[in-house]
Amino acid sequence: MQKRRLILVIGALFPLLCGVGFMTAHTAAQSVNDGYKLVFSDEFNLPDGSQPDPAIWSRKPRNNDQCNRWNSESPDVVFIRNGVLVCRAIPNHSEHSDTAKMLTGSIWTFNKYNVKYGRIEVRMRTNTQRGNFPAAWLKWQPKDWNTDPYAEIDIVEMFGDRGISFHAAHSQLTVSNSNHSEPNTYRNPLDVSQWHVYSLEWTPTRLVWSVDGKQLFTYKKSSRKRLLRRGQWTFDVPCYIVLNQSLGDGHYKDMVPNLTSTYETQFDWIRIYKKGE
């Protein structure tokens, strides 16, 4: 069965359009048993060399932070190959007017598609070498960066050549004060060079991370008003999606990138499920 490039399904059309032939048995069973229905999917099923669908994705701009400092519009760092989205970090040999030492690929759905609550799943793999820093994550775009609270959910990140997947919730409280109600990060031993399905279940009261259908950990909304006032739970806002291949900045020994090497992360698909739609 061919993967579908983009699927938007509601209600009774779900069994016909969702492309269940490419779901894991776990995913297909869950969508039936727990009331979730597929509402969005990009399968990246485009001709080799294509850019991801511009109706959904655009390049994430460069800025001074670690993730984005070398982002590039080059077609060599983001492209489709064999029905898979490829994001790369490569030595900068072509952009002679650009002072970036490397060129990195990052795409996002900002101003095109947002998600609030549901189950978000992404199938991906990456190469493991020092300096590697890819991720699939969600971020809120506040109206005012100076006054609005912070909200970021890392479906998964990888660091260097460590054999782990890393998962985290970053609220206003977690970024401003590490003393809060419960751990907001989890490290999962895993061979990230192999294909895995990384899943986030997001409800008004909790975030639950899983890998290949195995639940890892949960971050819950606090019942303590004092913590809520300090921003312990800022995850009731629509977020855009980011898929990226970044590089470390050298703060840790295994996060020093090799500026002569090519890094590559592959995304097979991303799917979003919701209840009651």
Dist. CA 123–CA 13, nearest whole Å:
23
Q: What is the pLDDT of residues 59-86, one digit of tens each?
A: 999 998 888 999 999 999 999 999 999 9
Report the alpha-carbon distance of residue 129 to residue 97 in Å, rounded. 28
For residue range 103-131, list pLDDT tens digits in order. Answer: 999 999 999 999 999 999 999 999 999 99
pLDDT attached to residue 177: 64
Mean pLDDT, the chain, rounded, equals 87
Select the more confidently predicted residue: 226 or 11. 226
Are residues 264 and 79 in contact, defined by beta-carbon separation less than 8 angstroms? Answer: no
Using DSSP, state whether 167 is helix, strand or coil.
Answer: strand
Cβ contact 61:71 at 8 Å:
yes
Distance CA 55, CA 8 (A): 13
- Is the pLDDT at 143 greater than 50, yes or no? yes
Q: What is the pLDDT of residues 199-213, one digit of tens each?
A: 999 999 999 999 999
> Any idea which residue has 């030595």 for tokens?
91
pTM for the predicted model, two decimal places: 0.87
Residue 142 clears pLDDT 90, i.e. is over it: no
Q: So what's the pLDDT on residue 8?
A: 40
